[in-house]
Structure 1
Amino acid sequence: AREAVRKSLVLLKNGTKIDKPFMPLDRMAERILVVGTHAHDLGNQCGGWTKTKSGQSGGITIGTTLLDAIKAAVGDKTEVIYEKTPSNETLASGEGFSYAIVAVGEPPYAEMKGDNSELTIPFNGSDIVTAVA
């Protein structure tokens, strides 16, 4: 699993405060926005060849989703807001977030069935990244 994470694509947009690193998350952060189809879906995070050849979405196995890991990493006073697709109201309040974390990607699949010749992020993933950024 650690090797898979090392080989995955992670895009971090650092803030303007050079003296305050992005990672690890600040346990005292006031509000964290977590969005995307993969943030709280272990099947999407695991991908194909997990429980079945093509994989499947949902709680297919025991594990920790990105959302669960974020909640465990921050303090009790941190408000963690999760939306699969962020609402306009949530985006309008964006200045109040200490962090905005987006988790999007392909659905689980194996071989040709899920091949993506366009190299785009399915499920309006690019739109979510743009809206949150």
Structure 2
Amino acid sequence: MEVLKKRPTSKGPAEWFTGDVWFDVIYAGAEPSRMRVNIVRFAPCSRTAWHRHATGQTLHVTEGIGLAQSRGGQIVVMRPGDTVRTPPGEWHWHGAAPDHFMAHLAMWEGTGDAGVPETEWGEQVTDEEYRAHPTIG
């Protein structure tokens, strides 16, 4: 058994996020594990840039109300207890609703290949794209 000490909270870099986003690395697997788990906290209106994961990603909302979208798809509302899965290679974004904070567990696997990035980051989600969300009741 190994007890992993908590790492410091990190501010999400502006290249990857719009707005105030903070994350804690919960687990970054040591070989042979490739599991990655972060808790990510989004202020209202904050969000990721478009991105995709080589092995896909699973999000589990722990508090607040969030939004998520796959490229070309409808924006979906995420609430506490919801789990959203994006398949390998699917471009997507996720973040907080306009009037709510949101926190989620982000879970994905590394590729096991130093030459293949786990996550590929694209352009920022525009305000127009973000504002196309459904009514949040």
Structure with greater helix percent: 1
TM-score of the two chains, using structure 1 as the length reference: 0.30
Structure with greater strand percent: 2
Q: Which has the larger radius of gyration?
A: 1
Higher RCO (CA < 8 A, seq sep 6+): 1
